[in-house]
Amino acid sequence: MHVLLTGFEPFDGESVNPSWEAARALEGWRCEFAPQEPAAVVHARRIPCAFGAALDALDAAIDEVRPALVLCIGQAGGRSEITPERVAINIDDGRICDNAGRQPIDQPVIEGAPAAYFSSLPIKAMVRALRDAGVPASVSNSAGTFVCNHLFFGLMHRIATRPVAVGMRGGFIHIPLLPQQAARLPGALPSLALDAATQGLRIAVGTALQVSGDLRESGGALH
């Protein structure tokens, strides 16, 4: 069984993106999630931080890897926890330009597609497993409207509509900045060390492989 783990290239003037640093640390990792099952092998792929091109790269990776599970990872500056995303929405609305200089405003990710898709990852079970392992985590109810949500929405639309992707399980996880990024604005931004982020992704992959439904416990937010 194959697992596709994507991370983004740096954007917004950064020289590093924790999502790619953590994903690439897991390239080739064999997750022994059940003793009787063959190990699941992780394939890490880097995604351009650009509307449209991100989905082309996702398609190429899915065609090549033929994964049963896809976890797309992105950087969320300002967040202090690993946050599995609940929902992708059909809107591109850039606060900044992407790496190709494009800034779509209030455009659908995919014309004619539904307003939103839910993640098919066990987001509550992931949060529980992460917390139990000492990694800070919470469910997030918004992946924003930039390239991360764009990729997440495109992934879920492919799972819903494309023969090559039907039956795949997939979703999106945002992770905090690395300490080296937060160190440039002292006192202003939370961060998570690369080892903790990488361990968090191991736990997220393992949980997604082991848990077929999801836990029913509070992960809500007031806003």
Q: Which residues are catalytic?
A: 85, 148, 174
Residue 17 interacting with ligand PCA (CB under 6 A): yes
Residue 144 interacting with ligand PCA (CB under 6 A): yes
Distance CA(74)–CA(22), nearest Å, equals: 10
223 CA to centre of own chain: 21
Per-residue x/- mask for ligand PCA, residues 148 to 177, rule CB under 6 A?
x-----------------------------
Binding part of the chain for ligand PCA, among 72-80, 156-164, 182-190, 215-223 by CB under 6 A, reads: 72-80
Judged by beta carbon, residue 146 or residue 153, the one nearer ligand PCA is 146
Q: Which residue is nearest to ligand PCA (CB)?
A: 148
Judged by beta carbon, residue 99 or residue 210, the one nearer ligand PCA is 99
SS3 19: helix
Residue 6 interacting with ligand PCA (CB under 6 A): no
Residue 94 interacting with ligand PCA (CB under 6 A): no
**Secondary structure in 3-state letters for 154-202:** HHHHHHHHCCCCCCCEEEEEEECECHHHHCCCCCCCCECCHHHHHHHHH
Distance CA(76)–CA(82), nearest Å, equals: 9
Judged by beta carbon, residue 49 or residue 201, the one nearer ligand PCA is 49
Distances (CA, A) of 182 to 14, 116, 126, 185, 192: 11, 32, 25, 6, 9
Considering only residues 3, 4, 19, 173, which one is a binding residue for ligand PCA as defined by CB under 6 A? Answer: 19
